Amino acid sequence: MQKLWVRFERDGAIGFGTLDDDTVREHSGDVFDGPTPTGVTHAVGDVTLLTPTTPSKVIALWNNFHALGEKLQLPVPEEPLYLLKAPNSFWPTEQVVRKPRCEGKVVFEGELGIVIGKIASGVAESEALDHVFGYTCANDVTVADILNRDASFAQWVRAKGFDTFCPMGPAVATGLDPATLTVTTRLDGKVRQQYPISDMRFPVARLVSLISMDMTLQPGDVILCGTSIGVGSMKPGSVVEVEIDGIGTLRNRFE
């Protein structure tokens, strides 16, 4: 069954629930294990949306889409290539992504995020989707100039780990078939990316299975599926929107 789950803050209290048009229907308990409706509702305009989960880690894929890999003439990877985004980078929708203190070109990367709902350790591909709770939108923000500035060491974690550099949200959608989804990224209202998730080199079940062979995935963890053609730079004052039908629109200003 398709639902949109959100985390929110109101009057200093943090809660979670389902989003139904402009209404949040509050729940209690554990969002991943039998949450119970409380009967309390909030107008979405009366709450502040938070990151949809509180991950122990966010895993970000590189070279996971055929179109971008072919454009950049990258070798076809035999296994998922990934890094970890730092917890200080996790950031909600509608909040300002802050310019780093260092200089350099800052780029957006609109992506689909896989949200884990059940502990996954060494799971078979045939069982992997049982460990997926749902899907969210993400922007894997990067200081591109830092990546290969030092010839002896590729600085992936630093380039992608600045404060506020991993916006996610606005919700986690359950009951979706990721292979049918399209990621649309807009910069100041103009479409810059529009690509199908079906173009992934490693589809969702294979990603979850293979990564779970390396490290235990916890409920709330997010796997960013990587991005495709159309990545571009942001200037102070830019607004980036990442939209995926069935999930919603992640919107952040860069200042």
Give the model confidence (pLDDT) of 57-107 as tens digits.
Answer: 999 999 999 999 999 999 999 999 999 999 999 999 999 999 999 999 999
Determine the pLDDT at residue 140: 98
Determine the pLDDT at residue 1: 78
Model confidence at 125: pLDDT above 90: yes
- Kindly report, as residue ranges, where domains of CATH 2.30.30.370 are found in the chain: 1-50
Spatial contact of 49 and 94, defined as CB atoms under 8 Å apart: yes
Model confidence at 143: pLDDT above 90: yes
Determine the pLDDT at residue 16: 98
CB atoms within 10 A of CB 221: 25
- Kindly report, as residue ranges, where domains of CATH 3.90.850.10 are found in the chain: 51-253
Q: Which CATH class is domain 51-253?
A: alpha beta
Q: Is the pTM value of this prediction over 0.85?
A: yes
Q: Which CATH class is domain 1-50?
A: mainly beta
Confidence at 173, pLDDT banded by 50, 70, 90: very high
- In whole angstroms, what is the distance from residue 139 CA to residue 166 CA? 6
